Amino acid sequence: MPTATATALEQRRHAPYENWRPPVIGVSLLVPVGADCITVVDLLGMLMLPVGGLHDGQTPEEAGNRVLTDPSGRLRLVRCVTVDCVQTRRRKVITHVMAAAPMTRGSVRGLVYRDPRAVVRVMPTLQVLDQWPTGRSRLLISLQAMATGDTACIDSGVVQAQLPPALGA
């Protein structure tokens, strides 16, 4: 007589290869500075948007405010501009790109990133795109969505016309 564990393992063995574990959900922040710059994080020589994880029961806005903080304790996030879904070997990775209200160079100096090893920098957008290591399309689509006021959905590298109902917007 098979045990419950053996039955569960047998079902798992025949389950589709994807989504064996709960999805990883994160948030990236797109912080414009002036008309032609954005805020990036330089972590040991690698440029990236400020990123962080979404904990259970947290909204992307709450997670974003934990990633970058200003002296008042709250970064003013305006809206979600892009939702990027990628299926990895065994789980889905969902990243919400949140746009912040435009800031000045002076106010960016007061921002504190969640990782103390990183330096918060302001760089011209074109220079960031030239030096961006990977995933340039998500940054470009996020910048376009921020400029047009839309919310883009990228599913496995393909831009979708609308967000899936499960993700909501």
10-31 residue pLDDT tens: 655 555 555 567 888 999 999 9
Name the band, by pLDDT with cuts 50, 70 and 90, for residue 97: very high
155 strand-pairing partners:
85, 158
pLDDT > 90 fraction of the chain, expressed in percent and rounded: 31
Joined together, the tokens standing for residue 113 give: 């990133």
pLDDT > 70 fraction of the chain, expressed in percent and rounded: 81
> What is the average per-residue pLDDT within 130-146?
86
Name the band, by pLDDT with cuts 50, 70 and 90, for residue 169: very low
47 strand-pairing partners:
42
CATH number among 3.90.79.10, 3.40.190.10, 1.20.1260.10, 1.10.357.10, domain 17-159: 3.90.79.10
Domain locations in the chain? 17-159
pTM metric for this prediction: 0.79
Return the closest-CA partner of residue 27 out of 70, 71, 75, 90: 75
